[in-house]
Structure 1
Amino acid sequence: MLINGHPKKSVCGFERLSNFWKSRHTMCFQGHGEGRVEKCYEMMGLIFEKLRICSMPQFVRFVHDLLPLKKHPDVVVKDLRFGTIPVKLYQPKAPASGLRPGIVFYHGGGGILGSLKTYHGICCNLCKKSDAVVLAVGYRMLPKHRFPVILTDCMVGTMHFLKSLDTYGVDPARVIVCGDSVGGSVATVLCQKFVDRSDLPKIRAQILIYSALQGLNFQSPSHQQNKNIPLLNHNLAFYCWCGYLDISPSWISTVLKGAHLPAEVWEKYRKWLSAENIPDKFKKRGYLPMSREPLNEAAYLETKITLDVVNSPLIADDEVVSRLPEACIVSCEYDILRDDSLLYKKRLEDLGVRVTWHHMEDGFHGVLTTADMSFFYFPCSSRILDAVAHFIKGL
């Protein structure tokens, strides 16, 4: 019998590690920075992947899920299923004077990390701080499930929620989609797809936290400046990108040189992707414009899936973007994806969409996940939650 392409006896070896990691997990974090520990987990996961014990994503998710869930006395939590889609519903325990805002939350992790469990504390805090009903949508992940599974799972869960708002005491005029990293990409894409859906309540706002919004240009200032910054470094970013889109990692050097897309494509999207659209203050830590090499036709044939707006919502048509609801965008200075947020902010504002922007000068990709972790808590995570809650209360 094969499990994920490997013999069942190999998976059993992975399962026997459970007691060891449960006993060592807390100790591992003491005295270390979060980025160092995450890198350790990734490296061990890659070793297990090479040994055909389990995939790196499976191992890291396994370790993350050893974290105990904290109870929040002011929040009622329910585990539900919308068809086959697992979801967690968070409702304030205090009685409501009327209908509450509803937040549909999509967790980050690049399709390989994160889960409803690891984002439990974030959703509890978001529910409490904003006095809103929060629905966290689970989705199937790598390595077994690739594009477009994340998007379709989140769409199914969201549509079910939108069609049953009265069941959860949610105001249909105040439904917000929210996500971080790849979850922010999902929120962006669904917002764009729901623009013309007259059979569903209109999305009131979109909250995008250090979101992945394009998969074309990897030569931006933030990619150059932050390629070795945890929690999302250059190697992990490409691991997620290749894995989700089922693109061979052998094309990475070609992609970095910009040779995976024709000159006419670069010219078409230059007005939206160019570093010229990024304020100079974000280039002070170093930025060297790079000339693109001639097209590699084979690479283009395999990577052109990135031109689909569901993979690069930053390049959606003006006609769609101009009709989107107002946005709250959070960017972090030490984030390889920082410039995606800056470019999308400019697109929205240029097309008349209202944007509330928060830039975390001390922030890094994934910092939100430390909000409920006492052993390596970063104050920036609380500032993000406070900013998001303030935005929601003002709708």
Structure 2
Amino acid sequence: MSVLWLVLLAGVSTFFLGVFVWAIIQHFLTVEIPSTLKHPAKLRFLHCMLLYLITLGNILEKLRICSIPRFLQFVQDLILIRKNSNVAVTDMHFGTVPVRLFKPKEASSKYRRDTYHGLGSFLAHETDSLVLLVGYRKLPDYHHPVPFKDCLNATIYFLKNLEILGVDPSRVVLCGDSLGGWAVATVTQVLTSMPNLPRIQTQVLIYPILHFINFQLPSYQQNKNVPFLTRDMLLMCVCKYLAIDLSWTDAMSTGAVIPLDKWKKYRKWLSYDNIPRRFWRQDTQPEVLGPFNEAAYLETKHVWNAEISPLLADDKIIAQLPKTFLVSCEHDVLRDDALLYKRRLEDQGIPVSWYHAEDGFHACINLFDKQPFSFPCSMKVTNAVARYIKDMC
């Protein structure tokens, strides 16, 4: 019996080692590390670990044991988050939506597990503010519009109960990164049609995704293979979130899903003509729409809704938006989304502050407190956000 256990242990160990070697090979075959990125070895290691976990998740998904998102969530839940003695943490519900409140200068009773726990705690302490994290429902069980509605409903509940929570109605800030930045942008736009609620003072969008249409922008070309968000990974996530079959990713990346009449109407907001020339490179290819694929368009046409692509909102809505702080990272496929939105807001007279991390990459803010895996850009972006919120409030 002991021999069988040893054989089983050796087989399992060989399997996991083989998967890890495969992840390393995939990394070096497909990933580009820009020369200006600091600590490239650290970034390579972290990306190899991410590929390793994704590969394991993919194997489990194919075996119908669990999906990739569920497996990654399981791994995340294994990570203990340090408590901050200067911040009190309370888990509660706004209606049916779970939320987490961070209140400065009181002790937290226990450890919590959440990717954004450290950031929420840091912002609460540094800005002397009440910080709310929304536990919106996620993949694989929920697709759009469920996460959006959870964020909207939680925000409305929050705004209706500011007095109970001890929050000044004139100092409310909405903040989010990546898909969370998209949620902030869409929720803030919807709130412009609800004048009876307290007005949002400012929105903070950290490398947000603001449209799901033009994947040929310079940043999508220049950073298509840069960790932690490659263009292929972004397209996969977009399709899963919007319940689009993955077979349409090629048509989406080449622009074959874009009808000519819609491109003529929205090019003024979507084209890389609006990207400052300093972000172009000599090898940047011009935007060329692939041969129009009507079937692909019919499967993806909901991306033209402003609720999904807030960059396409009408001017009258954009003109009602609050002051905005935009964060972009040089080595991020979503860099140009922020630049396009900056132009849209400024054209409508909205005050915009902008922080650009020259050595930054997607998701860098999540590593600001993850020593020894933090990067200089991680802390710079975090401090920039905290400083802006503190100055505004």
Give the aligned partner of residue 54 of structure 1.
Answer: 66
The answer (yes or no) to whether the contact 1:30–1:375 under 8 Å persists in 2 is: no
Q: Give the drift of 1:94.
A: 6.5
Q: Deviations over 1:307-333 (max 9, x none)?
A: 011110011000100110010000001
Give the aligned partner of residue 245 of structure 2.
Answer: 248
The answer (yes or no) to whether the contact 2:218–2:279 under 8 Å persists in 1 is: yes
2:375 to 374, 378, 382: 378
Q: Deviations over 1:193-240 (max 9, x none)?
A: 111212211000000000010000001111111111111112221111
The answer (yes or no) to whether the contact 2:61–2:67 under 8 Å persists in 1 is: yes
For 1:159 and 1:302, locate their aligned partners in 2 and report how far apart those are by CA, in whole Å.
32
1:166 to 163, 167, 170: 163
2:134 to 117, 133, 137: 137
Are 1:92 and 2:104 matched, yes or no? yes
More deviation, 34-43/54-63: 34-43
The answer (yes or no) to whether the contact 2:79–2:113 under 8 Å persists in 1 is: no
Give the aligned partner of residue 332 of structure 2.
Answer: 335
Are 1:357 and 2:348 matched, yes or no? no
Helix, strand or coil for the counterpart of 1:360?
strand
More deviation, 214-223/193-202: 193-202
Give the aligned partner of residue 270 of structure 1.
Answer: 267
Structure 2: gaps spanning 5 or more residues: 1-11, 17-40
The answer (yes or no) to whether the contact 1:184–1:209 under 8 Å persists in 2 is: yes
Q: Normalised by the size of structure 2, how large is the TM-score?
A: 0.86
The answer (yes or no) to whether the contact 1:165–1:171 under 8 Å persists in 2 is: yes
Q: Give the drift of 1:31.
A: 10
1:287 to 284, 288, 305: 284
Which residues in structure 2 correspond to 1:96-245 (within 5 Å)? 117-245=114-242
The answer (yes or no) to whether the contact 2:189–2:317 under 8 Å persists in 1 is: yes
Helix, strand or coil for the counterpart of 2:224?
coil
Q: Structure 2 vs 1, CA of residues 285 and 205 (structure 1 numbering), >3 Å: closer, same or farther?
A: farther
Q: Give the drift of 1:284.
A: 2.3
Give the aligned partner of residue 78 of structure 2.
Answer: 66
Give the aligned partner of residue 26 of structure 1.
Answer: none
Q: Give the drift of 1:365.
A: 0.6
For 1:285 and 1:50, locate their aligned partners in 2 and report how far apart those are by CA, in whole Å.
41
For 2:211 and 2:250, locate their aligned partners in 1 and report how far apart those are by CA, in whole Å.
18
2:89 to 41, 54, 77: 77
Helix, strand or coil for the counterpart of 2:168?
strand
Are 1:347 and 2:344 matched, yes or no? yes
For 1:188 and 1:80, locate their aligned partners in 2 and report how far apart those are by CA, in whole Å.
24
Q: Normalised by the size of structure 1, how large is the TM-score?
A: 0.85
Give the aligned partner of residue 56 of structure 2.
Answer: 44
Q: Structure 2 vs 1, CA of residues 338 and 31 (structure 1 numbering), >3 Å: closer, same or farther?
A: closer
Give the aligned partner of residue 305 of structure 2.
Answer: 308
For 2:77 and 2:326, locate their aligned partners in 1 and report how far apart those are by CA, in whole Å.
28
State the number of aligned residues: 350
The answer (yes or no) to whether the contact 1:116–1:137 under 8 Å persists in 2 is: no
Q: Give the drift of 1:68.
A: 0.7
For 2:275 and 2:48, locate their aligned partners in 1 and report how far apart those are by CA, in whole Å.
30
For residue 61 of structure 1, what is the amino acid of its counterpart? Q
CA RMSD, 1 decimal: 2.0
Q: Deviations over 1:164-212 (max 9, x none)?
A: 1112221100101110000000000111011121221100000000001
Higher helix share: 2
Helix, strand or coil for the counterpart of 1:286?
coil
Percent pairwise identity: 46
Helix, strand or coil for the counterpart of 1:332?
strand
Q: Give the drift of 1:285.
A: 6.7
Helix, strand or coil for the counterpart of 2:383?
helix
Runs of 4+ in 1 over 2 A off after TM superposition: 29-33
